[in-house]
Amino acid sequence: MEEHVGALWHRLVTRLADTRYRDKRVELAEVQHSLSIFFRAVGGDAGLQIERADATAFDTRRNWLQRIAGAWERTEMAWRDENALRLPVEIACFNDTGLNRDLYFWLAALAALDTHRADDWLIHHQQLTRQVLTRWPGLKTRYQRLVVAHLAQRPEAQRLNGDDHLAEIRIRAALQDPDAALETLPATRRAPWPVALWLHPDPPQALLAPTSNDDGEERKEGRESRQVENIAKRQAERVKMPEEEQGLITVRMENIFSMGEFVNVDRGTEDEEDADRAEQVARDLDKLSVARERKASAIRLKFDLDLPAESDDDLILSDGILLPEWDWKRQQLLPNRCRVLEMQAANTSPRELPKRLTRTAKRLRNQFQALTPARTWHRAQPDGQEIDIDAYLRHACDRAAGHGVGTDGLYRELRSGARDLACGLIADLSLSTDAYVDDHHQVIDVIRDSLYLFAESLHATGDRFGLYGFSSRKRDPIRIHRLKDFDESYNGEVRGRIHAVKPGYYTRLGAGIRYLGEQLKRQAAGRRLLLILTDGKPNDLDQYEGRHGIEDTRQAIIEARQLGLQPFCVTIDAKGNDYLPWLFGNGGYVVIRNPTELPQRLPLLYARLTQAAI
């Protein structure tokens, strides 16, 4: 009974303290595509993605009802960093859907010009507003409507005292007249009430790269595992694992409205059995404290996958190849930045095609054999299967006329046609391929089957092709696995190497593209296709995470096109449409929504891409 009354009381107080208009809300997902186009059209950085901005702690004054309900402790505000434009997951500030939608576009316009951070939040946003309205005067009417609606919601300045009163007056003046000459905000004990029309006053700093577990823990059956979706990156710190059996909890009454303090108390990793509760805790924390423990936990949330154990069963074929890498901040190519190790699986044996793929492979071979140009007669040959009657009659007439002619070119030969193209495929063998796409298959299984069927199909056409896999662990080394070279025949040995592929480390995609580009440019073919097969965006343990990896990959693709190659990406990343247009262009990639369809669709995609070469 007490629990039921408590739940009713919580819902009542929370609803009374919530000043948002939930029935008029506009979600980011509804306008994300339009916002992306608008942001770039008004001069925003084309390399930035639009992502959700989770709520951050905001120490502002709250009334007694908001303190009881725990409302407005955290606020969603927009900001941009070097990787993304981050916007609230939903906007429900106003009792008008149109105004809530307009606010998204206004914030995007502000962020497009927010290329540097000024010392004073008020002066900076007053200047930004003035620049936006000067450059795009068509936004002025929308801005004025937003200002009127927002000022009606802000606390009245006359009810505030001292510096709080002065700060509110200056904020209102800056909103109403961006051209007014104003002083900076005075220092106040608490932050002013959030300004919905401005960007975050103190956006979170750059976060740590994903942590990794080098212990190579194998997957444990029976544990619930969940991928946390739609959550922004968190600040993180490494801490020591708390001592077990020493959990003393103390509560101070003055902290009853605060949840921000970290107490190094072990709750016991096996005690949490509710994945929903664990995920909610992860979402509520501003900073995640990460400790290492060898004991398995009852619940796992997948922010990133763990590293596999070091493998010692691959042969190193070379001492290393040095490749450049693009530094997008300096806008220059850094020579000899990465080292590539060419490797090949050891102790593999020739294998037949798996029986589960035999039927599909036979159908694909029949389809691809139809792509091979028909056998044609090659005339005027010095030798061949038959006499070329036309050439012989011309020869006889010339001799009868007294002309001295040779006897070369009197034969004809029936030969198979050939397509003047070469294809190189490089597959992402990073750690994320260890994930499961359904109850029975991992991503690596899907990639392996795709390589099998792709090779069977191209072997039927006679096209020259090479197969490679790659993963990285920082810029040295980048592991390139040779599955089939261009000069090598497709046989049981190649199938044995494909069977041996396994998840590796991370995805330094730019280096993989540059390596395959070097192999392809040596092929004497009129058309050279560079295929990339991946399940996620570029990333690595160092600065390659985020914008650096995206920009280096884009530069590698530009370099490949300058070599006369045709790059094309095939991905099973459901979020591929967010960043692949910036890398490959609208026609340079395809997203496979159902990963289990990849093995059959990959050869057919190749057939469509090479139709012009038939």
Asked whether residue 473 falls in the same domain as residue 334, the answer is yes
- The domain boundary residue, chosen from 246, 275, 302: 302
Asked whether residue 16 falls in the same domain as residue 54, the answer is yes
And the tokens for 69?
């309900």
Asked whether residue 246 falls in the same domain as residue 324, the answer is no
Residue 584: which H helix or E strand, with range? helix 580-584
Separation of alpha carbons 495 and 471, rounded Å: 20
Q: What is the mean pLDDT of the chain?
A: 79
Q: Does residue 203 lie in a domain region? A: no
Separation of alpha carbons 390 and 297, rounded Å: 83
Question: Are 494 and 344 within 8 A, CB to CB?
Answer: no
Q: Does residue 182 lie in a domain region? A: no
Put simply, whether the predicted model's pTM sits higher than 0.85 gets the answer no
And the tokens for 70?
């725990």
Interval 521-575: pLDDT, tens: 998 888 899 999 999 889 998 888 888 999 999 999 999 999 999 999 999 988 8
Q: Does residue 185 lie in a domain region? A: no
Question: Are 501 and 444 within 8 A, CB to CB?
Answer: yes
Task: Tell me what pLDDT residue 332 has.
Answer: 92
Alpha-carbon torsion (517, 523, 524, 527), positive or negative: negative
> How many Cβ atoms from other residues are within 10 Å of residue 2's Cβ?
6
- Torsion-angle region of residue 585: left (phi > 0), alpha (psi -120 to 50) or beta? left
The residue among 495 and 315 whose pLDDT is bigger is 495
Number of domains forming the structure of the chain: 4
Q: Tell me which residue has tokens 């859907």.
A: 97
For the chain, helix (H) and strand (E) counts, in that order, are 16, 23
Segment 147-166 shows an average pLDDT of 86
Q: Does residue 197 lie in a domain region? A: no
Interval 216-232: pLDDT, tens: 333 434 444 455 555 55
Burial class from Cβ neighbours inside 10 Å (0-12, 13-18, 19+) for residue 20 reads middle
Q: Name the residue range of residue 426's domain.
A: 314-370+419-613
Task: Tell me what pLDDT residue 608 has.
Answer: 85
Segment 96-106 shows an average pLDDT of 93
And the tokens for 49?
């993605």
Residue 468: which H helix or E strand, with range? strand 464-472
Q: Does residue 213 lie in a domain region? A: no
Asked whether residue 448 falls in the same domain as residue 511, the answer is yes
Question: Are 116 and 164 within 8 A, CB to CB?
Answer: no
Question: Are 324 and 334 within 8 A, CB to CB?
Answer: yes
- The domain boundary residue, chosen from 272, 302, 332: 302
Q: Does residue 319 lie in a domain region? A: yes
382: cis peptide before it, omega within 30°?
no
What 3 state SS string does 34-74 have? HHHHHHHHCCCCCCCEEEECCCEECCECCCHHHHHHCCCCE
- The domain boundary residue, chosen from 388, 415, 442: 415
Alpha-carbon torsion (426, 428, 434, 438), positive or negative: negative
Counting residues of the chain whose pLDDT is more than 90, the rounded percentage is: 31
Asked whether residue 71 falls in the same domain as residue 164, the answer is yes
pLDDT band at 79 (very low <50, low <70, confident <90, very high): confident
pLDDT at 248 > cutoff 50: no
SS3 343: strand
Q: Tell me which residue has tokens 């691959």.
A: 314
Separation of alpha carbons 384 and 379, rounded Å: 9
Task: Tell me what pLDDT residue 556 has.
Answer: 96
Task: Tell me what pLDDT residue 239 has.
Answer: 53
Q: Does residue 163 lie in a domain region? A: yes
Interval 172-192: pLDDT, tens: 999 999 888 777 888 777 778
Of 428, 234, 218, 206, the closest CA to residue 306 belongs to 218
Q: Which of 77-86, 115-124, 168-177, 450-459 has the lowest mean pLDDT?
A: 115-124
Interval 278-332: pLDDT, tens: 666 666 665 566 555 545 455 555 444 444 444 445 788 777 899 999 998 888 9
- Binning the chain into helix, strand and coil, the percentages to the nearest 5 are 35, 20, 45
Asked whether residue 397 falls in the same domain as residue 457, the answer is no
Asked whether residue 406 falls in the same domain as residue 474, the answer is no
Separation of alpha carbons 568 and 550, rounded Å: 16
The residue among 332 and 245 whose pLDDT is bigger is 332
And the tokens for 174?
């800056």
Asked whether residue 22 falls in the same domain as residue 149, the answer is yes
Q: Does residue 187 lie in a domain region? A: no
Task: Tell me what pLDDT residue 99 has.
Answer: 93
Task: Tell me what pLDDT residue 264 has.
Answer: 47
Question: Are 325 and 337 within 8 A, CB to CB?
Answer: yes
Interval 45-60: pLDDT, tens: 888 888 888 777 766 6
Asked whether residue 401 falls in the same domain as residue 438, the answer is no
Asked whether residue 544 falls in the same domain as residue 452, the answer is yes
Interval 1-59: pLDDT, tens: 667 676 776 666 666 656 677 888 899 989 988 998 899 888 888 888 888 887 777 66
pLDDT at 253 > cutoff 50: no
Task: Tell me what pLDDT residue 496 has.
Answer: 94
For the CA atoms of 77, 82, 83, 89, the dihedral, rounded to the nearest 10 degrees, stands at 10
> How many Cβ atoms from other residues are within 10 Å of residue 552's Cβ?
28
Separation of alpha carbons 451 and 499, rounded Å: 9
SS3 315: strand
pLDDT band at 251 (very low <50, low <70, confident <90, very high): very low
Asked whether residue 357 falls in the same domain as residue 394, the answer is no
Segment 95-122 shows an average pLDDT of 88
Asked whether residue 406 falls in the same domain as residue 340, the answer is no
DSSP conformation letters of 513-533: HHHHHHHHTTS--SEEEEEEE
